[in-house]
Amino acid sequence: MSIDFPLILNFFIAVLAILNPIGNVPIYLEHVNQDSTDVQKNIAKLLALSIFIICAFFFFIGQPFLSLFGISIPAFRIAGGILIMTIGFRMLHGKPKFDNEGLETKASTTNSFKQATERLSSLIVPLAMPIFAGPGAITTVILYAQKPHNFLTVIGMIFALAAACFVIGLALYMSRWVFRILKNNGMQIVSRTMGLILCAIAVQFVIQGIAQLIPGLIDPTYLHS
């Protein structure tokens, strides 16, 4: 019984690419800019752990879990797309929220880890799911979970998933430095640009979901795996 290293490496690259840690940093900052630096660091750690738990859950029992509730992958894509669309609209038209006090200089007045755990409940949705662990990531995890043929490869893939989530946590942990480079105006531009991109991603999710539900309805040119 040997470990399938090419499969593990391919899984790590695929998961890291679709979770998109760098591209999602501005979205993360838009949600935590009012928190102190220490709280932001702890939120980053907790979010990375949450993303790992979500992905690991779907790796092992994703398809049966969705089937238990009668949920198909296309329906999951459409629901995720609608939720992401609301976030994108808020980022496009919301009031400016970035300030030096929140992202750069504010000191924590109470236990930062306790504050982070309290904030986490409001950030699991939408940040952990569906921004990071969205329909695309969950579908990828479920599909790859069907490929390993031995226990050692499964363990290797879980370590690969953990490594990908560690990279996400590191990117979010260092995200406060992004603000110091871009400042308020730069963050406003990035936030609104990412809002537009999120809206486009949401539309793509909906298109893919409809295409899976009704084959042949949509030109395959506008679809991607």
> Are 177 and 64 within 8 A, CB to CB?
no
C-beta atoms surrounding 176 within 10 Å: 18
How does DSSP classify residue 20?
-
Rounded mean pLDDT, 137-147: 85
The per-residue pLDDT for range 101-128, each reduced to its tens digit, is: 455 545 445 688 888 998 898 889 888 9
The per-residue pLDDT for range 6-19, each reduced to its tens digit, is: 999 989 998 988 88
Residue whose token pair is 């998109």: 20
Nearest C-alpha neighbor of 169 from the set 16, 18, 12, 34: 16
pTM: 0.74
